[in-house]
Amino acid sequence: MVIPSTAPATPDAPPSAAPSASAGPPLAFRPPSPSAEAQPPDPPNACTAANATGTPADCTKIRRPSAPHCESFDDTVDECHVITRVLKPAVAEKATKCILSKSGTSAICSFGVAGVCASQAFRSSCADPATATECKAVVQHCASVQVSNVTGRVTMAECQGALAAVAAKHKDAMLSCMNEGCSAGYCFAYLH
């Protein structure tokens, strides 16, 4: 015979508040372990932070020189604007400041000045190690190709800098342009 308990009955807890058998102590914020913080970023993103910050020069401030002829001036201004749209900020800053440094002088009238400045910016920008295989193939292909442009033959640093300087959607076009023309400086013009 079962004798009923004389202790007052406690109401059952609602099902959502009932602890489960696998529930442990309440979750608390734990900072990431030091070993997780020391991990380098993934190679495809190696240049993301370096190229994300920069302020391109104001292309509207490019001035004609007092020289009577400057046939390429309007094209150079247009190319400066394209550079600000298609290159990542840090690389666009280098290229456009290079262009603006020639403003008001006869150097701004040189054909290809924007390409030369872009090429210099690529060569001095972050070279993403994840692009080594593609760029090695381009440089090897171009080693025996005659290049007759003012930017010169594409280098490994220039190729890697160029690929890191553009959005992912433009990488194939940039790679194709470098492989075909064996230079990188003018390739920005085919990306917009």
DSSP secondary structure code for residue 16 in this structure: G
Residues for the chain: how many in total? 192
By the 8 A CB rule, do 88 and 165 touch?
A: yes
Domain residue spans of the chain: 46-184
- Token pair recorded at residue 168: 């992912």
CB atoms inside a 10 Å sphere around CB 144: 7
Cα 92 to the center of its chain, rounded Å: 10
Q: What share of the chain is helix, strand, coil (3-state, %, to 5)?
A: 55, 0, 45
**What pLDDT is recorded for position 46?**
79
Q: What is the pTM of this model?
A: 0.74
**What pLDDT is recorded for position 192?**
67
The three-state secondary structure class of 8 is coil
Distance CA 132, CA 98 (A): 27
Q: pLDDT 10s digit of each residue in the chain, 192 long? A: 444 444 444 444 444 444 444 444 443 333 344 444 444 433 456 788 899 999 999 999 999 998 778 999 999 999 999 999 999 999 999 999 999 999 999 999 999 999 999 999 999 999 888 999 999 999 999 998 888 777 889 999 999 999 999 998 999 999 999 999 999 999 999 986
